[in-house]
Amino acid sequence: MARQLVRRRMLPFCMLCLLFVPSRESAVGKFDLLLANHIVEVSALDLPPAAHVRLRQNIYDVVVIALEDSTLSMLPAEGKGRDVQLNSGEVRVLRSFSVQELANPSGAKARFIVVALKSHGVEAGECGCSGEVERSICGCSERHLPPLWALSIGGATLAGSSLTPGEGFVGASYRDDSLLVSLTRVQLQDQQASGPDSVLKLEPGEVKWLNRGQHQFKNVGPNIARFVTIEF
């Protein structure tokens, strides 16, 4: 009887203690700045399982590039968020002020490249739903992108490329300033350049700023080279 009385007296005390136990906070993702100039600010984003991160640069239009197959939650300042399934190399354009947080709802780590378009944003109405590539990139469709794709929106042209060993672009072309994001280990030779700058070597997730001029890239590595470019 005495033992039951003690238990009854201890119960309110234990419940009160639970009120002061600190709640476990969800994991927070991490941005690492890779490159910044007057046109873009490029960061690597690592999202552990169930992690989230505030998208501070959504004052600009933002391009998110998945480095591996993953699920990404996009949470607006108001209203309900939505999950999207992205394959490696797939892209989403987030209009300025449209997304407040990015989150990883899955049980696996996810990695992305996040590009803030500082001076060449997407003009109103230009990221629409007119074609399958545009529908995917602008979020109007859940269909995945093909291995090779290109889309011009606003002041930028986005493209996904895949070159087998020894394969290259046919003929040289003049390109404006461009950002190259490697999806695999990349070893490209610019056949319009000479010297040490003619060979571009990047690990998966690395980026390179390419100044405007004549370029003709060829895959001189032993494996398929996959990369995404944004030309301004």
80-94: average pLDDT: 94
- Using 50, 70 and 90 to split pLDDT, how confident is the model at 15? very low
Least reliable range by pLDDT among 20-34, 45-59, 166-180: 20-34
What is the value of pTM for the model shown? 0.85
- Using 50, 70 and 90 to split pLDDT, how confident is the model at 173? confident
What is the DSSP track for 26-94?
PPB-EEEEEEE-SSEEEEEEEE-TT-EEE-TTTTSEEEEEESSSEEEEEE-SSS--EEEEE-TT-EEEE
Q: Which domains, from first to last, does the chain contain?
A: 30-144 (2.60.120.10), 156-231 (2.60.120.10)
Q: Which pLDDT score, from 0 to 100, does residue 65 have? A: 98
Least reliable range by pLDDT among 79-93, 110-124, 166-180, 185-199: 110-124
- Least Cα distance to 190 among 217, 222, 156, 227 occurs for 217
Q: Give the three-state DSSP class for 175.
A: strand
- Using 50, 70 and 90 to split pLDDT, how confident is the model at 17? very low
pLDDT surpasses 60 at 7? no
**Residue-wise pLDDT tens digits, 133-147:** 999 999 998 889 998
Least reliable range by pLDDT among 2-6, 19-23, 77-81, 199-203: 19-23
